Amino acid sequence: MRTNIVLLIAVLWLLQACDVNRSGSVAVQADGQATLAMEPPLLIAQVRAIDQNALSLTVSVDGEVIAMDRDGDTGQWTGSSTIAANSSPTILVSWSESYQGRVLRLAQASQVLTVAADASSAQAQFSNSDFNTAFDDDGDGHFNLAERNSDSDPLDASSPAEPLVTVPVTLRIDLPSYIDWTDQALLDQLHATATLNGTALTLTRNANQWTASGVATENSVSFVNVVLFSTESSNLRVATAQRNQNIGSGSEFVFDASGYQAPLDDDMDGLSNAAEVGQGSNPYDSNSPPRNPCDISDFNAGCDTDTDSDGKPDSVETATADSDNDGTPNYQESSLIDNDGDGASLELDANDNDACIPSTASSQCVALNIDTDGDGKKDVDEGDVDSDGDGLLNRQESNLEDEDGDGVNDESDSANADPCIPNDTSQPCVSSRQDSDGDGKTDIEEGTTADTDSDGIANFLDSSINDADNDGVFDELDSDNNDPCVPATNNQSCAAQQLDTDGDGKTDVQETTTADTDGDGQFDYQESSIIDSDNDGTFNELDSQNNNPCVPSTNNAACSAQTQDSDADGKTDVAETLTADTDGDGVFDYLDSAILDTDGDGTFDELDSDNTDPCIPSTSNAACSAQTQDSDADGKTDVAETLTADTDGDGVFDYL
């Protein structure tokens, strides 16, 4: 039977000098049709003498040739075929050239592929060393591909003219790793064959290794094929290996335990020929040893494989039954599981992931149409995603609403009530941070209407850290920010508010602490507006020289008095001051002459505490002496009688 198996044939040409690969593949579709695509191997493509358009590719599966077509633009070959399940087809790939009207063979590789009954894919892969290039149409010992590469004639035995040089080739074959028989008798019956470029070699066995020798053309790419048979008389192959390599001036082919192709299984029972020989079963009988019916097919009677674990074996559900016609057979769809929660099991649900199929009346289908956040996207479509990571799922947050007005919808905003997240340049964010009165509390925190001190200024404009009138009460709590006596008078600023330093009836605050109306260096609050110190008719506050009556004007009595000399002693009354009394006689200096000596005692009046007593302040002077003289000895001093009195008019003074 033909089955839906993917067959991959990969032809990997490894150019040893450049380490470059070429490949091709076959993929089988659902209808069993296989598509093959290949390019010419580099080993051939790089031979300049070969016309790429003259190349021909043949691919066959068990002798059935796949028709191959070449794309002239890409150089790629394509074709198609089918493959049978539970078979061991031989895959053969051949490259040839149309040369002088003949088909010139260049390279060929083959491989036996094991395809199990339940296989979904199979692969045949060829490396460069798998290809046999030992084709010699003119029998001159030089292979066709080598002659095309050296521009000699592969159809002329005399070309090339140089004599053929052969070199020795040795062969060493180890027992493959997958033959692990414990029966030495079976090992002793093994028979090995080998060919070098199609010529059989004589093998010598030593324990589990065979050796042989032969000759090949010097520097040729030679090909060795090895087959191990179960016995010398049997045609049952238990292992195969093949490889080409450049001989050079002599070479050894070594096939170690890992150098063999995949184990052969002629009866396709899952046991290799080697394994069946080892255990004594018949390698040509798929029922030897007796097989579990499931080994042949999960749909065989008696096979209890239950692919969908619904309690009904695949053999009962059959390979083709499809109750819901969804393209997936019943044996792969459980009759117990309901993926979409719509009440219909997978086996009866044409769409296992749509709760509205087969019925829109299911509660799950109704739930699918719910849009919790009203943003036009269904909850089921938004799922359990939380785009902004705020703990609210997208289906709970609208992508149409912007609660904090920061320009980012709630679904993408990790803080729906904070306009500064994620956009700290948004107008709402800027507004939320505004502090109009600079007191560290935002306008929003203080509110737009709160007015704690009822002064008509809202708190957000009334600072809670500034005290405009320095009365100890912050503006936010002060009903009159400019009056330190409100709301209380018991503070320094209020006391200062009522202070009148110059006693002129105007407080210092009213006069300010910096005003100096007359520019004399004394502030107005220190100069009275009702006192005139120099009596010049101008109050001190307006008089730039409070002690000079001639400033700011000379037109006043005080200024005139400034030049008066009452005692005619050459010093003005002002110079002597109006209050000075040097001799303490009760007569001010400006009335007590500094040049007259009324009592003739030698001391000027200004310095004489008794201007009429020559014995004051001193008795040591003529005037004092005269003060005590009694010329007529009548007991009365001459002074007492005066020096001019003549009481009786007789012409003689009384003192005489």
* Highest averaged pLDDT of the listed ranges 67-76, 175-184, 509-518: 175-184
Residue 222 has pLDDT above 50, yes or no: yes
Tokens of 162: 């140089």
Question: How many whole angstroms separate alpha carbon 440 and alpha carbon 465?
Answer: 9
- The conformation of residue 263, written as its DSSP 8-state character, comes to P
Among the listed ranges 75-89, 246-260, 410-424, 487-501, which one has the minimum average pLDDT value?
75-89
Cis peptide before 358 (omega within 30 of 0): yes
Question: How many whole angstroms separate alpha carbon 280 and alpha carbon 56?
Answer: 45
Nearest 10 degrees: CA dihedral of 349, 354, 360, 363?
A: 100
Q: CB–CB of 294/304 below 8 Å?
A: yes
Report pLDDT for 524: 83
Residue 432 has pLDDT above 80, yes or no: no
Query: What's the pLDDT tens digit per position in 596-645?
Result: 988 888 998 889 888 888 899 988 888 888 778 888 989 988 878 887 88
Mean pLDDT, rounded, for 348-362: 87
Picking from 474, 444, 443, the residue whose alpha carbon sits closest to that of residue 461 is 443
Picking from 530, 483, 489, the residue whose alpha carbon sits closest to that of residue 506 is 530
Report pLDDT for 468: 87
If residue 497 lies in a helix (H) or strand (E), which one and from where to where? helix 492-498
Q: CB–CB of 15/43 below 8 Å?
A: yes
Query: What's the pLDDT tens digit per position in 83-121?
Result: 777 778 888 989 999 999 999 999 998 988 777 766 666
The structure tokens 């600079």 sit at: 438
Mean pLDDT, rounded, for 125-152: 89
Report pLDDT for 74: 79
Question: How many whole angstroms separate alpha carbon 421 and alpha carbon 413?
Answer: 7
Residue 291 has pLDDT above 80, yes or no: no
Length of the chain counted residue by residue:
656
Question: How many whole angstroms separate alpha carbon 485 and alpha carbon 498?
Answer: 9
Average predicted confidence (pLDDT) for the chain: 85
Query: What's the pLDDT tens digit per position in 357-415?
Result: 888 888 888 877 788 888 888 887 888 898 888 888 888 888 888 888 888 998 888 88
Q: What residues pair up with 210 in beta bridges, in sequence order?
A: 173, 205
Nearest 10 degrees: CA dihedral of 78, 84, 86, 90?
A: -50
Mean pLDDT, rounded, for 156-173: 94
Picking from 333, 370, 329, 376, the residue whose alpha carbon sits closest to that of residue 353 is 333
Report pLDDT for 236: 96
Report pLDDT for 383: 80
| Beta-strand pair 221-229/209-217 | unpaired
Question: How many whole angstroms separate alpha carbon 133 and alpha carbon 147?
Answer: 11
pLDDT band at 122 (very low <50, low <70, confident <90, very high): low
pLDDT band at 275 (very low <50, low <70, confident <90, very high): very high
Report pLDDT for 144: 94
Mean pLDDT, rounded, for 123-142: 87
pLDDT band at 178 (very low <50, low <70, confident <90, very high): very high
Question: How many whole angstroms separate alpha carbon 372 and alpha carbon 96?
Answer: 71
Cis peptide before 289 (omega within 30 of 0): yes
Query: What's the pLDDT tens digit per position in 4-56?
Result: 444 444 443 333 333 334 434 444 333 445 556 666 665 666 677 888 888 88
Question: How many whole angstroms separate alpha carbon 178 and alpha carbon 288?
Answer: 20
3-state secondary structure at position 447: coil
